Structure 1
């Protein structure tokens, strides 16, 4: 009886120890390591990033809500440059981390800021391979009170095969007549679903002009009217761009209600040309 009682006590102690080890293990999971190329001091930083910093971002980085990629010298190879940094307005301090209101503020701020930074008008900003990405603090930093945003100009966009390298600074590079390195072209049978490429690369289509479909306060005109107005304007505009040839091909990129609500009021006209 004594041996059985001692064995029972030992078994119970072993079971309790195993349970304790499971609890301790569960409560002491290792802290996730920063992504490759990340600066550990930036990962959960509460302080806002540095304005004017350059980084070597990849397409996957652009899709993430936060970014801690190491800063590199702007005279070295880079694909992103921070052109706007700031704190969210007071009315958004209590917003959820992924709230639509925060996203809309970032869209308006980064979009308008990019045009000013590049020296572009509304039409040029839609006919370039340059675009922007915005980042917020990590969720941990957000919980610690961080409320900053960061806008980066990048050499590419969602449909790009890869981001292209930027000059030492992208400030003012769309002023006047921009270099073909920054003008959007497309290679393929049509412009639909094709990735923008710099016009310095072999191409079939060039973005030559845009049409404004309404003012900021106007309601969305509807899919059919937007498409027809874009088609009719682009046909005349591309014909004039090509110096009125008897035969020519043109394309147009028009947008829908979601883009209208986000602030876009323009469609893009494309000319079939390899020049």
Structure 2
């Protein structure tokens, strides 16, 4: 017997964290703690690609960051995988405008998959994620329009450190079967209530596949249509993933209008499995 399980959950992967932070406008300042590099605080020139840092949960909630860089051979929790300039059309945009936030999101989202060597389905099912940073407001007023994309190895609960990254991350998911330590699973009775963990740890659910629920350029069809389509497609997809099992449980994560307008056209399908 096929048993569907609750629809929505909090993913730890790239799409959820980054889009949740997309329109974040509070707490813009980098602070002046011991790990802050004064030269980076109001820098007009763009930061360096490939730099590593030890960021924490507080840092990734801010819109700008000036944490000192460290050698990537040492423990670090963030790596700058892309740096660039925002579109010229935003030269006169407000610092905290939605247009600026969306441009930074799209640039980092596109570069994320390319950096990891993964397709859209894999990057939606990985514990790896990213955060983008912009110049300080002072630097913005001086004409700075750069963006910085930092790779993270997952989210964390308050009071806990972010997970460490390996020395090299380029091409990390370039495989037909990426390592379980980088893929997202859930521990708990249902998808929606499960604690998200790397699949290398004991788990009850695996984000096994994704399914396409729309095409680029299509208008958002509404929550109900997306949920119904996700349910049906995921039931078929997970059945196939489980070698066409007759008795199985599945769950799904579907996204709403904001994510659709940011470019997402996929839902995530979960299988009840300890493998």
Q: Which has the larger radius of gyration?
A: 1
The interval holding the TM-score normalised by the smaller chain is 0.7 to 0.9
Indicate the residue corresponding to 2:203 in structure 1. 203
Partner of 1:213: 213
Equivalent residue number for residue 3 of structure 2: none
Does 2:105 match 1:100? Answer: no
Over residues 200-259 of structure 1, what are the superposed CA-to-partner deviations in whole Å (9 max), with x where a residue is unaligned?
Answer: 112111011001111110111211111111111111111221223331111000011111
- State the Cα distance separating 1:262 from its structure 2 match: 1.1
Number of aligned residue pairs: give it. Answer: 244
User: C-alpha distance in 1, partners of 2:59/2:203?
Assistant: 27
Describe the superposition over 1:86-136 as per-residue Cα deviations: whole angstroms up to 9, x where unpaired.
122211111111011111111111001100000110100101001110001
Q: Which residue of 2 aligns with 1:142?
A: 140
The Cα of 1:141 is off from its aligned counterpart by 1.4
Q: Distance in 2 between matches of 1:101 and 1:63?
A: 19
Cα distance in 2 between the residues matched to 1:57 and 1:51: 16
Q: CA RMSD in A?
A: 1.8
Contact 1:81 1:169 (C-alpha < 8 Å) held by counterparts: no
Gaps of 5+ in 2: 1-29
Secondary structure of the corresponding residue to residue 59 of structure 1: coil
1:269 aligns with 2:269: yes
Cα deviations by residue, 1:163-190 (Å, 9 ceiling, x for unpaired) = 2211112110111121111111111122
Deviation at 1:36, TM superposition (A): 3.5
**1:195 deviation in Å?**
4.6
Instruction: Give TM-score, length-normalised by structure 2.
Output: 0.84
In structure 2, the partner of 1:116 is 114
| Structure (1/2) with the larger helix percentage | 1
Mapped to 2, the partners of 1:139 and 1:77 lie a distance apart of 30
Q: C-alpha separation between the residues in 1 aligned to 2:156 and 2:253?
A: 15
Which residue of the partner structure matches residue 61 of structure 2? 63
